[in-house]
Structure 1
């Protein structure tokens, strides 16, 4: 436990409030804020006008492989895919357009050297080629929805360590599934399927919070 607490402190996920007393950071970590934004992540989808957002950085030669991968992973969080060397692209179907996307990326520490631009009037042949970069990302969330519903029924009984552990694990799995969706425009994406998952997850989250509240109250008795 001491080793785990020490690692969490080093990563600034916990802070030491006194001898044997720990608390959460004064400011939420950006990763935590991003994970908690899964509701907004779904609601940000808007109708696509055919425009694209491009992201790149100009000093690729000065970056180590790990630094380059870190930047690529950050862009992947927001549905970008590599089109050409150090050039990433995604459909501009997220609310706020280019300025808002620039602001989202800028909240991360690894984003100080990104450059953004917009591309319009793309020929159909090129559009088809660009959309092929997401072939491995098209998701069907039906299995996650079923998992949430099954777990909801299963954990409505006695509150135990096993049940609260399950809702935490299943809830994390569902959130991860939402945030991995690149939010492609129709007909390339499936917004109805994603929204069904979001609605089911919202119900499950309320259930999970109630379970954990009751479980912690029992532990303190």
Structure 2
């Protein structure tokens, strides 16, 4: 179940550059048995962190601290356009000399690497296939913008040797990813086929609970080359997530239109 803080962040990220009135945030949190006081506390904390900002009277939008993350996450619908043919080279980030005592810096570093599909080959050495458009320089810019320290070494790598190449092939759970693509697509399509029978509050609630991990799957997908992954299954899965997201947005708009209606939230 989401917390008030995570739900508000998710709604504002989905709104991209839009703003939400506080009454709609309260109504949304109410679907998950979160109180108005929970919402107030979350809004104060998110504002103090710079993650959201008040706008006008009772409206909130993403704040400056969330800008770069929102830009990365907001591009998930077109993420496949970043993939290009792979020539067998890798991109590497060496972090072994960086501090692990600064928890905030460590969290930013880990998130930046996870968002770009890096896996740890050896302690402090993270690797991904060099199959994304823009190559090394684009990736360097993206990682630094998300908080990776300037002192991290970022470079292109190849010719690892047979033993290491064998280890590289096992860094990503490719078989599990292929299975997940198929299962997730089937789950989303099955729910969409029956969603018209649900009440607006129930539909909005379920769309969030199902759609949130589905979108996260796309956002954190390593975007591996077709030599490693079933790219057709991935494409079908991502298309299903886009259809689900579009339907979910419509269901949430319908829920907000009925926010003041006389029915009670589903138990």
Query: Where does structure 2 lack aligned partners over 5 or more consecutive residues?
Result: 1-36, 262-267
Deviates more, 1:38-47 or 1:131-140: 131-140
Report the Cα distance in structure 2 between the residues aligned to 1:54 and 1:193, rounded to whole angstroms. 27
Report the Cα distance in structure 1 between the residues aligned to 2:192 and 2:131, rounded to whole angstroms. 33
Match 2:249 to one of 189, 201, 209: 209
Residue 179 (structure 1) aligned with residue 216 (structure 2) = no
Q: 1:130 corresponds to which residue?
A: 168
Deviates more, 1:24-33 or 1:94-103: 24-33
Q: 1:119 to 1:169 in 2, by over 3 A?
A: same
Q: 1:35 corresponds to which residue?
A: 73
Q: 1:49 to 1:138 in 2, by over 3 A?
A: farther
SS state of the match for residue 188, structure 1? coil
Residue 25 (structure 1) aligned with residue 62 (structure 2) = yes
Deviates more, 1:205-214 or 1:4-13: 4-13
Match 2:158 to one of 120, 128, 133: 120
Q: 1:196: Cα distance to partner?
A: 0.7
Match 2:205 to one of 160, 165, 180: 165
Between the two proteins, the alignment pairs up a number of residues equal to 219
Q: 1:68: Cα distance to partner?
A: 3.8
Q: Flag as ranges the 4+ runs of structure 1 deviating above 4 A.
A: none
Per-residue CA deviation, residues 49-102 of structure 1 (Å, 9 max, x unaligned), is 011111124742x44163445423421221111222322111101111111111
Q: 1:26: Cα distance to partner?
A: 5.2
Report the Cα distance in structure 2 between the residues aligned to 1:111 and 1:151, rounded to whole angstroms. 42
Q: 1:159: Cα distance to partner?
A: 4.2
Match 2:134 to one of 96, 106, 122: 96
Residue 195 (structure 1) aligned with residue 235 (structure 2) = yes
SS state of the match for residue 15, structure 1? strand
* Structure 1 length-normalised TM: 0.85
Q: 2:43 corresponds to which residue?
A: 5
Report the Cα distance in structure 2 between the residues aligned to 1:41 and 1:35, rounded to whole angstroms. 9
Report the Cα distance in structure 1 between the residues aligned to 2:93 and 2:212, rounded to whole angstroms. 29
Equivalent residues in 2 for 1:71-82, closer than 5 Å = 71-82=109-120
* Structure 2 length-normalised TM: 0.72
Q: 1:149: Cα distance to partner?
A: 0.9
Report the Cα distance in structure 2 between the residues aligned to 1:122 and 1:31, rounded to whole angstroms. 33
CA contact (8 A) 2:88 2:130 kept: yes
SS state of the match for residue 192, structure 1? helix
CA contact (8 A) 2:52 2:63 kept: no
Q: CA RMSD in A?
A: 2.5
Report the Cα distance in structure 2 between the residues aligned to 1:88 and 1:182, rounded to whole angstroms. 13
Deviates more, 1:116-125 or 1:62-71: 62-71
